[in-house]
Structure 1
Amino acid sequence: MRGSLRIRLIAASLLALLASLSVGFFALGMARSDPGAAMATGGFLFLGIFAGFWFYLDQALARPVDKIASELRVRAHAETGVPAFVPSRGAENLGDLGPAAASVLSALEAARTARDEAVSAATRHFDEERVRLTALLSEIPVATILLNRDGQIVLYDGQAAEVLAQIGTPRLHAALSEYFEEESLRAALDRLHKTGLGTTATLQGRRGAVTFTATLKPMAEGGTLMIIDSEESRIAPDADRPLVYDFALLGQRRDAALEDRRLSDLTFCVFDLETTGLLPHRDEIIQIGAVRVIGGRIVPGEAFETLVDPGRPIPDASSRVHHITDAMVRGHPSISSAAPRFYDFASGSALVAHNAPFDLAFLRAKRAETELNWTHPVVDTVLLSAILFGTTETHTLDAVCQRLGIEIAPHLRHTALGDAHATAEALCRMLPMLEGRGIDTFGALLAETRKHGRLIEDMN
């Protein structure tokens, strides 16, 4: 096995040499009677020999090496769910490379097991601290929000989510100015920054929404604690107070241009649509589902899902795929009402979809009805898969999830939120793989995706 590839290459080279010599003697014999025919025949035969030799090297070397490389990359970055490494078909041509790769990954798995035990202990401590923090906030019967120095949300509790939901969808990393009128909010923050002391302000919700009284206090690292106290925001001390937070956002700034920002610092809105058919100019959206990814993880509790009444019957053939019927969408909002809500949910994010041209074509086709301009940065997980695993692989959502060890529950497949969540899981597993290849900024990612324009259109 160890010398099989070398022997195969020597044998192939000898065969190519013998074939070339045979062609040479044959052409020499023909040249005496018909020089032109001899040159043409010899040329074609040489081309045939070269093509055959190249094809053999591609099948015996290039494809197995690419396959092993992609499998190694998956297992180097995927934490769980990926099956044990088994050298792929054709690896027997590569001598000891397959067994050596399996040995390295076995050692990596042992190291991960030891690390996981240490992380488990730290996680238990973290969970205890989270329980204490939640218990502390439960004694404060008002809505609590923590902002970073740019006025973006770093933490909000369940009651703050109720307050924000009266204006828009609660979201980490969203600017507070998306919820409250800029003038009153900016005046309060200016007073806070000038004096370094707490201040009270009356904040008017955007789009004529309700007014709230808020107390703002300066925090470490330039953050601001905001407490909203009103009858609408008061809750019983023993009420459930789920927290949504990412303290890494406290120190994050948006000074860099989009192309220069690291992928790990971007906010992604991963979405999927279900439709009445496949033609954006003729068919309609009937379901929208989306989740948000920040810091390479799906944000718990931040999801968008709605059925959409298309105003026309849903074809039976489409219902057999996504199981959405006319009765299910009846009474739900039209696209002119649902799309603006999703637009707000995706504000400030890069849009992510599997086969993005399809989904974006439907959103943009409804521009006349919704008056929305979908100019968000776009990431297509089909193109990410092509970058990491090569264009010769299958890049359907099912194939990508299977490759990455992601399971999609059968009852969630072909639902907008279920497919969006699976796509988000795939994104979270592919981001560190991209960074491992040196593709760590949005600009670098764009440059790589545009190399695969023949596979699928880049939507940026």
Structure 2
Amino acid sequence: MTHLSLRIRIFLFFVLIGLGGAALFFVALYVGYLKASTGDVTSGFVQAATIGGFGLVGMTAGIWFLFDENVAKPIERLAAGLRARAHAGAHGGVDAETAKYLGDLAPAAQAMSQQLSASTMHTASAIAAETERLTAERDRLTALLTEIPVATVLVNPHHQIVLYDGQAAGVLAQIHTPRLNAPIFDYFDQGAVEAAWKQVGKTGREVSFIADGAENEQTYSLRMKPLEQGSGYVLIIDGAEAHIDPDAARPLIYDFDLLVQKAGTAADETPLRELTYAVFDTETTGLLPHKDEIVQIGAVRVVRGKIVSGENIDMLVNPGMPIPPASTKVHGISDAMVRGAPSPDKAVPSFHKFAKGSVIVAHNAPFDMAFMHRHGKRLGLEWKHPVLDTVLVSAVLFGASQTHTLDALCERLGIVIPDHLRHTAMGDAYATAEVLCKMLPMLEARGIITFGDMLKETRKHGRLLEDLN
């Protein structure tokens, strides 16, 4: 049967419907005739109609099941696999077992996929465009680095962080985790920064000022230098050596595209690529959010479709209760490991600040967010963040009938999770972030551009998971 073409295979389904229907009604009429021959004509017609009607419905359902399992689902899986290779850079061939009843469709798809990959790799225009972009970005960074001193933060006109060097990161970290695209007001007093920015706008010259830290009692001596054409400013932290290691690395974290980012756009109206995501995972004492507790939080940030190196949370949490041996066997965290760790009262607010201004992303988000909401009510934290669940995104891209575990997604998209990081909060958070980055271009290719578009699609799969938005 596997050698038959897809066209012949579909033809045979219709032949089965036709012949099966004819045979069924012949049997129904024959049974009705036997009943009518006894003198009960009405009962004969009723019996024939009942057998024929219910038999046809049952036969149609059976043939539909065969068609769905052997044709429809394999085509859906094949299409999803091709999209993953075309838009997410996933590697690997077409699953021969899945596509064995699709005739020449699978080999043709494989050939097209290979040809497309080869053509893409050797397209001169694509290489030239990428080289030009990288060269321009390198020249811009080089020019900036020749002028900026140590402990420097580059900020766009909307007061969002575009770049920070290693020593500036050390100062910012005293207040909270350094984050690209975060408001500078999360770190320094808003009034002082806005007053300096207003003065810079009037004079066009450097302004020195003092600002309090946003969340501590320290004060910082700052200088603000305007960038060309009102495209933002450079914030220089004087005396940073008093706060951090003076041998810290030079600028490492930047994204110059943030200089031209729009401000004030609602998440639903924002393109998925332009959003900032806080991707997180938790390890817990058990699977009951109403009574179990967090033992580890791992989180990374994704800005404009890229994971930002160094912007993460990786903390053990003291649950205030014994960790069951069965749970320790899964995630490897014991009572001894969390003995000196912060409690949920400190860990949950820390993640809340880390996720400020971001879309929260998790794999099976209702489970992890249940812990956050429970503690949020007690600690006075509001979780108003938009939430994106990679389980639902997977259902949109690959079909609800597929497997949507994190392991299955990683295998499908060519992502490798090191064994020592699997079932750790940080390892799973990083894997989920990589999955997200791979799926964003696939969503765009499907015409799902904004976060609002994404919500409309994921709500079609509400039977899988609770909608947290």
Q: TM-score w.r.t. structure 1 length?
A: 0.92
Deviating more after overlay: 110-119 vs 225-234:
110-119
Is the aligned partner of 1:275 residue 2:276? no
Q: Render the CA deviation track for 1:143-163: whole Å, top value 9, x for unaligned.
A: 111111100000000111111
SS at 1:94 equivalent: coil
Which of residues 52, 56, 80 is equivalent to 2:66? Answer: 56
Is the aligned partner of 1:210 residue 2:218? yes
| Residue identity matched to 1:162 | G
Contact 2:211-2:221 at 8 Å conserved across structures: yes
Question: Displacement, 1:74?
Answer: 0.7
SS at 1:365 equivalent: helix
In the alignment, the residues of structure 1 paired with residue 275 and residue 452 of structure 2 have an alpha-carbon distance, to the nearest angstrom, of 12
The correspondence of residues 190-205 of structure 1 with structure 2, limited to 5 A, is 190-205=198-213
Deviating more after overlay: 291-300 vs 306-315:
306-315
| Residue identity matched to 1:100 | A
Which residue does the alignment assign to 2:39?
Answer: none
Question: Displacement, 1:439?
Answer: 0.6
Q: 1:107 to 1:98 in 2, by over 3 A?
A: same
SS at 2:179 equivalent: coil
In the alignment, the residues of structure 1 paired with residue 189 and residue 171 of structure 2 have an alpha-carbon distance, to the nearest angstrom, of 15
Contact 2:298-2:426 at 8 Å conserved across structures: yes
SS at 1:6 equivalent: helix
Query: What's the Cα RMSD here?
Result: 2.5
Which residue does the alignment assign to 1:71?
Answer: 81
In the alignment, the residues of structure 1 paired with residue 141 and residue 198 of structure 2 have an alpha-carbon distance, to the nearest angstrom, of 34
Is the aligned partner of 1:227 residue 2:228? no
Q: 1:172 to 1:389 in 2, by over 3 A?
A: same
Q: 1:259 to 1:123 in 2, by over 3 A?
A: closer
The correspondence of residues 137-286 of structure 1 with structure 2, limited to 5 A, is 140=149, 142-220=150-228, 222-230=231-239, 232=241, 239-286=248-295
Which residue does the alignment assign to 2:55?
Answer: 45
Q: 1:351 to 1:255 in 2, by over 3 A?
A: same
Which residue does the alignment assign to 1:36?
Answer: 46
| Residue identity matched to 1:427 | L
In the alignment, the residues of structure 1 paired with residue 137 and residue 154 of structure 2 have an alpha-carbon distance, to the nearest angstrom, of 20
SS at 1:328 equivalent: coil
SS at 1:286 equivalent: strand
SS at 2:122 equivalent: helix
The correspondence of residues 402-421 of structure 1 with structure 2, limited to 5 A, is 402-421=411-430
Deviating more after overlay: 61-70 vs 43-52:
43-52
In the alignment, the residues of structure 2 paired with residue 176 and residue 244 of structure 1 have an alpha-carbon distance, to the nearest angstrom, of 15
Q: 1:15 to 1:176 in 2, by over 3 A?
A: closer
Q: 1:385 to 1:305 in 2, by over 3 A?
A: same
Q: 1:40 to 1:188 in 2, by over 3 A?
A: same
Q: Render the CA deviation track for 1:278-326: whole Å, top value 9, x for unaligned.
A: 1111111111110000111100111111111112211111100111111
Contact 1:145-1:160 at 8 Å conserved across structures: yes
Contact 1:215-1:228 at 8 Å conserved across structures: yes
Q: Render the CA deviation track for 1:337-369: whole Å, top value 9, x for unaligned.
A: 122121111111100000000000011111244
Which residue does the alignment assign to 2:40?
Answer: none
Which residue does the alignment assign to 1:11?
Answer: 12
Q: 1:29 to 1:124 in 2, by over 3 A?
A: closer
Which residue does the alignment assign to 1:396?
Answer: 405
Deviating more after overlay: 288-297 vs 200-209:
200-209
Which residue does the alignment assign to 1:98?
Answer: 106
In the alignment, the residues of structure 1 paired with residue 419 and residue 429 of structure 2 have an alpha-carbon distance, to the nearest angstrom, of 14
In the alignment, the residues of structure 1 paired with residue 374 and residue 135 of structure 2 have an alpha-carbon distance, to the nearest angstrom, of 50
In the alignment, the residues of structure 1 paired with residue 140 and residue 242 of structure 2 have an alpha-carbon distance, to the nearest angstrom, of 22
| Residue identity matched to 1:85 | G
In the alignment, the residues of structure 2 paired with residue 176 and residue 151 of structure 1 have an alpha-carbon distance, to the nearest angstrom, of 6
The correspondence of residues 347-362 of structure 1 with structure 2, limited to 5 A, is 347-362=356-371
Q: 1:204 to 1:198 in 2, by over 3 A?
A: same
In the alignment, the residues of structure 2 paired with residue 163 and residue 305 of structure 1 have an alpha-carbon distance, to the nearest angstrom, of 19
SS at 1:434 equivalent: helix
| Residue identity matched to 1:13 | F
Q: 1:299 to 1:239 in 2, by over 3 A?
A: closer
| Residue identity matched to 1:150 | H
The correspondence of residues 104-119 of structure 1 with structure 2, limited to 5 A, is 104-114=112-122
Q: 1:106 to 1:136 in 2, by over 3 A?
A: same
In the alignment, the residues of structure 2 paired with residue 87 and residue 327 of structure 1 have an alpha-carbon distance, to the nearest angstrom, of 46
In the alignment, the residues of structure 1 paired with residue 279 and residue 248 of structure 2 have an alpha-carbon distance, to the nearest angstrom, of 31
Count the aligned residue pairs.
Answer: 456
Contact 2:151-2:240 at 8 Å conserved across structures: no
Question: Displacement, 1:88?
Answer: 3.6
Deviating more after overlay: 22-31 vs 345-354:
22-31
Question: Displacement, 1:6?
Answer: 2.7
SS at 1:91 equivalent: coil
Contact 2:392-2:465 at 8 Å conserved across structures: yes
Question: Displacement, 1:200?
Answer: 1.6
In the alignment, the residues of structure 2 paired with residue 304 and residue 234 of structure 1 have an alpha-carbon distance, to the nearest angstrom, of 21
Contact 1:180-1:203 at 8 Å conserved across structures: yes
Contact 1:203-1:213 at 8 Å conserved across structures: yes
| Residue identity matched to 1:62 | A
Contact 1:87-1:102 at 8 Å conserved across structures: no
In the alignment, the residues of structure 1 paired with residue 13 and residue 439 of structure 2 have an alpha-carbon distance, to the nearest angstrom, of 38
| Residue identity matched to 1:7 | I
Which of residues 345, 348, 351 is equivalent to 1:339? Answer: 348
Q: Render the CA deviation track for 1:360-405: whole Å, top value 9, x for unaligned.
A: 0011111244321112110101111111111111111111111111
In the alignment, the residues of structure 2 paired with residue 305 and residue 238 of structure 1 have an alpha-carbon distance, to the nearest angstrom, of 24
In the alignment, the residues of structure 2 paired with residue 214 and residue 434 of structure 1 have an alpha-carbon distance, to the nearest angstrom, of 43
